[in-house]
Chain A
Amino acid sequence: MNPTFTVNGRSCSAPADGTATLLDVLRDQLALTGAKRGCNYGVCGTCSVLIDGVLGRACLALAADCAGREIVTVEALDADGTPDPIQQRLVAAGAVQCGFCTPAMVLAARGLLAVNPRPSRAEAAAAISGNICRCSGYGAIVDAIVAAGHD
């Protein structure tokens, strides 16, 4: 039997190929395209999701090795029709330009706020240090994360 894990609360099983990544499963099997395939080798950060509550690279997690883990993608955050507070703060701060990095930025912020509910600017910047934004909107993204901490 193939290893199973949950994605946004729903059970799914890893492909037979041991080299399939979590990102392959999310995008190609579950059609959850919030996690982007940017560089596909761990540098750009656009595939980041929450794995057992902490930020991880979906492109660097082998699906089979995710057995028993709980995965959360950006699609879960507004499942009730209301955007997550960090998403609302990103919109209010004008922190979304092309949007390609945004889902992973949202999850990086969620990962930070879970352990540090009132981050400083420096802590917010460090939390997204592995997430590249090529529109260069870091200032507004950091503003939004700090503001979300005050919500």
Chain B
Amino acid sequence: MTGVAFHRPSRLDDVLALLAADEDARPLAGGQTLVPMLNLDLLAPSAIISLADIGELRGIDRRDDGSVRIGAMETHARIAASAAFAGGQAVIPHAAGQIASPAIRNFGTIGGACAHGDPASDWPAALVAADARIEIAGSSGRRDVAAADFFQDFLTTALQPGELVTGIVVPPLAGRGIHHRFSRVDSDYATVIVACAADIAPDGTCNVVRLAIGACGPHPARSDTAEALLTGRMLEPALIAQAGQMLAEAIDPLDDVRGSAAYRRRILPGLIARALESLR
């Protein structure tokens, strides 16, 4: 193996300049997806640019308006253990604590996982359910994109060449949140993910609901009609089943080793019912 250059700048501008100057350079966050690709010879970067020393990519901070800003380099383990999240934002730490296994959670980062854009992974559904926004920086400037627009297709995101995820902003969300994942065993990718933030009154009336389905297609699925159907209504089993059917039609799953497309559609309404039941 020939030598691949390794850079570890301490300023974000230096990272962006290196990325702009060399389109074959790759930023390194926690390495839990980049390094497997290196080891499997799926990727041959000209240089690796570590983000470990960039201060503005750190921190899980609750802001005055109730939103939470998560630096891109925060690990799943730190997010899972954070007390910054309130109400429906609980979907975020709940998702973080279920990703892969402890060793991966200790080093894998939310920014790296977002940039990788694997629709089988946990963050896309959780962030879409939470109406999160993805902060992006490039050498030509900064922008932010709604999670629903960021996750576009298999391993394809709104990131342009030379751009970097710098953080995630989760808005204040009423009620409670759950990341309900169905997987064959702990540490495996999910067969189906139901990420949900909802405000359900004690009498069972649904005031607000956000439901995103993961691992069932090229990007997370939401259904405005299903959410509108539930909003303002008593969450009776028949109503939940009807919304579940709408989402089962909205997803676009593949047959794979974790389950057939038909199986995923079959189990989804029941998983949605369980998720909503847990939030009452």
A14: chain B residues within 8 A (beta carbon): 6
Binds A, one of B35-43, B63-71, B122-130, B246-254: B35-43
Question: Given that A19-B1, A54-B106, A130-B102 are contacting pairs, would A65 and B52 also be in contact in the complex, using a CB cutoff of 8 Å?
Answer: yes
The CA-CA distance from A126 to B98 in the complex, in Å, is 10
B107 near A56: Cβ-Cβ < 8 Å? yes
* Contact string against B for A residues 38-59, beta-carbon threshold 8 Å, 1 for contact and 0 otherwise: 0011100100100100111101
B101 proximal to A (CB < 8 A): yes
* Contact string against B for A residues 71-101, beta-carbon threshold 8 Å, 1 for contact and 0 otherwise: 0000000000000000000000000000000
Question: Given that A42-B32, A60-B32, A62-B35 are contacting pairs, would A67 and B8 also be in contact in the complex, using a CB cutoff of 8 Å?
Answer: yes
Q: Interface residues, chain B, CB within 8 Å of chain A? A: 1-6, 8, 28, 31-32, 35-36, 38-40, 45, 47-48, 50, 52, 77, 100-104, 106-107, 185-187
Contact of A130 (CB < 8 Å), options: B2, B6, B50, B100: B100
Contact of A126 (CB < 8 Å), options: B3, B52, B102: B102
The CA-CA distance from A57 to B31 in the complex, in Å, is 10
A108 near B48: Cβ-Cβ < 8 Å? no
Question: Given that A18-B5, A42-B36, A65-B52 are contacting pairs, would A60 and B102 also be in contact in the complex, using a CB cutoff of 8 Å?
Answer: no
The CA-CA distance from A48 to B45 in the complex, in Å, is 25
A16 proximal to B (CB < 8 A): yes
The CA-CA distance from A60 to B103 in the complex, in Å, is 10
The CA-CA distance from A10 to B236 in the complex, in Å, is 63
